[in-house]
Chains A and B, each alone.
Chain A
């Protein structure tokens, strides 16, 4: 099969690999019909996530047709499914309380040691996202082996096309959970840092959850325009002072909840962010967290901080005092995708959530490397890239 492989920092190539096979009884093989490049794939592309090996197949947002099933799979050949980016067994303590992204059994034991040392607990398996999360071959390929296929994939009806449902795999539930973690009440003002795909879905979700006002923050005009089209007010951090603007726009109270949809490669011009960027570049591993730091200072006392943005290591000069003295709540985590799939699919069917507005570019899988380069370098106009294997 053809598949997009990681070879090194900012070096990805489509290569020919052996087709995947059924290895375990609960596996299924999916023929990928659509797959997307995620903002978090850019962290891999930029080489800031450890435990990547040359030849690893990337991609954790994908859907397709079931072409083969293991003896214990509940899927049948020919079904169209969207596959969650997190791999979950359904039977462990965490899966049973619907904290699927903390599944204890999906990351192979040999791969658990690193995250167990780094975080105190091992991470769950994730498709195409380094050997720390299992070393599973990802979905930017013609075929994927999907473990625990009886738990993860959701069957989608034929009248919904790929582009309507593809984002159920990650960014839609991730934006939704980000808004849920912000515990939005009516009358709330919610600020969202980052108008990438997750930020834009968080904006949409916050509005659906009844926020009185949603303020989206970015520096790319086109992305800010998309946020406005969804009903958000916007702040361009290149041209306005974010904290002052937020205080004024919330009538001096401060925003009730903040969502950091930026993560570890934040852009920003403060001294600490520039230092953090330098350290990240030379590999001494501090996450750039300028968006999160700003969000913690901007949120009102007693407010909520939701952090869907991806971080992997440590950060310097974290405003811990503000977190405590202002009595903030911080909620974060990889998305428990399986928890939200059914409801979100229903909302897509009803037309309550718009998903396809996000897609700016559609490319054949063979041109994936171009997609990565532009998604990184032309962030204003390349908002979301969907790859079509065999296209």
Chain B
């Protein structure tokens, strides 16, 4: 599958299997390096390079119980409700956790990406990887942990990806507001809105405006 417009790839294309778990393992390995002070900062905030991969992450606190949030995310049919680039997800190959993601790119094309859950811990973690024959080399993970006191749940989304078109391509993607970092952050915020308020905020004045803005967000 060839993508004509690499700058606009939705990060969700990372759902899949195959590639060795280099990037996220590298994040974990950060702590073990002798030359770096083992601070408490999440690995993805490190001021260091992960080689040809980019690693981005973001957390939100959602005022809902962990189990409820995990269950909603784990039911992949819900994901298109807050992931702007995702049209739909269909089960694939008959195995649990194996699915095809239909992702709309900004060039108007919809790509079908084979995906597999790499690891899952009930109520805590879902990780996924791109497939061996995927054109997109990426993996991601969403974690759920109890927030202090009555604050609900801290939800963290971490994505590692190999920018297509190298650093230049990634810069172009950022300028065009299509970087996985930006899309991931927006999707996570939409998830929070949906869970906390039952809807996703929009300033559209009419339903036609809303339709138009939803298209624009893709």
Q: Which residues of A contact B (CB under 8 A)?
A: 17-26, 57, 72, 89-93, 96, 104-113, 125, 134-137, 145, 147-148
Tell me the smallest distance from the CB of B215 to a CB of chain A, in Å.
Answer: 12
Q: How far is the CA of A146 from the CA of B200 in the complex (A)?
A: 14
User: Is A134 touching B196 in the complex (CB atoms < 8 A)?
Assistant: no
User: Is A113 touching B201 in the complex (CB atoms < 8 A)?
Assistant: no
Given A93-B61, A96-B63, A105-B193, A72:B198 Cβ within 8 A: yes
Q: How far is the CA of A330 from the CA of B202 in the complex (A)?
A: 33
For B205, the chain A residues whose CB sits under 8 A away are: 17-18, 20-21, 23, 57, 137, 145
Chain A interface, DSSP helix/strand/loop, else mixed: loop
16 contacts between A and B (CB under 8 A): A18-B205, A24-B201, A57-B205, A89-B201, A92-B63, A92-B197, A93-B151, A105-B196, A105-B201, A107-B201, A108-B201, A109-B185, A109-B186, A109-B193, A113-B182, A125-B203
Assess whether B192 is interfacial by the CB under 8 Å rule: yes
> When each residue 193-218 of chain B gets 1 if its CB lies under 8 Å from chain A and 0 otherwise, what string results?
10011111111111111100100010
User: Is B203 touching A26 in the complex (CB atoms < 8 A)?
Assistant: no
For B200, the chain A residues whose CB sits under 8 A away are: 24, 108-109
Q: How far is the CA of A79 from the CA of B213 in the complex (A)?
A: 31
Q: Which residue of chain B is the closest to A133 with respect to CB atoms?
A: B203
Assess whether B190 is interfacial by the CB under 8 Å rule: yes
User: Is B201 touching A91 in the complex (CB atoms < 8 A)?
Assistant: no
User: Is B63 touching A108 in the complex (CB atoms < 8 A)?
Assistant: no
Q: How far is the CA of A17 from the CA of B207 in the complex (A)?
A: 14
> When each residue 148-173 of chain B gets 1 if its CB lies under 8 Å from chain A and 0 otherwise, what string results?
00011000000000000000000000
User: Is B192 touching A21 in the complex (CB atoms < 8 A)?
Assistant: no
For B151, the chain A residues whose CB sits under 8 A away are: 93
For B209, the chain A residues whose CB sits under 8 A away are: 23
Q: How far is the CA of A24 from the CA of B210 in the complex (A)?
A: 10
6 A-B pairs with the lowest CB-CB distances in the bound complex, closest first: A91-B196, A24-B199, A109-B189, A109-B186, A135-B203, A136-B203
Given A105-B193, A109-B189, A112-B189, A91:B199 Cβ within 8 A: no
Given A93-B61, A108-B201, A18:B206 Cβ within 8 A: yes
Central interface residue in B182, B185, B205, B217, by most chain A CB within 10 Å: B205
Tell me the smallest distance from the CB of A104 to a CB of chain B, in Å.
Answer: 7
Q: How far is the CA of A91 from the CA of B152 in the complex (A)?
A: 11
User: Is A134 touching B197 in the complex (CB atoms < 8 A)?
Assistant: no
For B182, the chain A residues whose CB sits under 8 A away are: 113
Q: Which residues of B contact A (CB under 8 A)?
A: 61, 63, 151-152, 182, 185-186, 189-190, 192-193, 196-210, 213, 217
User: Is A105 touching B192 in the complex (CB atoms < 8 A)?
Assistant: yes
User: Is B197 touching A148 in the complex (CB atoms < 8 A)?
Assistant: yes
Known: A23-B206, A90-B197, A93-B151. 4 other contacts (CB 8 A): A18-B205, A89-B201, A107-B201, A113-B182
Tell me the smallest distance from the CB of A35 to a CB of chain B, in Å.
Answer: 16
Given A89-B196, A110-B217, A113-B182, A134:B201 Cβ within 8 A: yes
Q: How far is the CA of A366 from the CA of B28 in the complex (A)?
A: 63
Q: How far is the CA of A20 from the CA of B61 in the complex (A)?
A: 32
For B201, the chain A residues whose CB sits under 8 A away are: 24, 89, 105-109, 125, 134, 147
Given A92-B63, A105-B197, A148-B197, A137:B189 Cβ within 8 A: no
User: Is B61 touching A21 in the complex (CB atoms < 8 A)?
Assistant: no
For A23, the chain B residues whose CB sits under 8 A away are: 202, 204-207, 209-210
Tell me the smallest distance from the CB of B214 to a CB of chain A, in Å.
Answer: 10
Tell me the smallest distance from the CB of B152 to a CB of chain A, in Å.
Answer: 8
User: Is B210 touching A93 in the complex (CB atoms < 8 A)?
Assistant: no
User: Is A26 touching B199 in the complex (CB atoms < 8 A)?
Assistant: yes
Q: Which residue of chain A is the closest to B211 with respect to CB atoms?
A: A23
For A22, the chain B residues whose CB sits under 8 A away are: 207
Q: How far is the CA of A135 from the CA of B203 in the complex (A)?
A: 6
User: Is A108 touching B202 in the complex (CB atoms < 8 A)?
Assistant: yes
User: Is A137 touching B203 in the complex (CB atoms < 8 A)?
Assistant: yes
User: Is B198 touching A26 in the complex (CB atoms < 8 A)?
Assistant: yes
Tell me the smallest distance from the CB of B153 to a CB of chain A, in Å.
Answer: 11
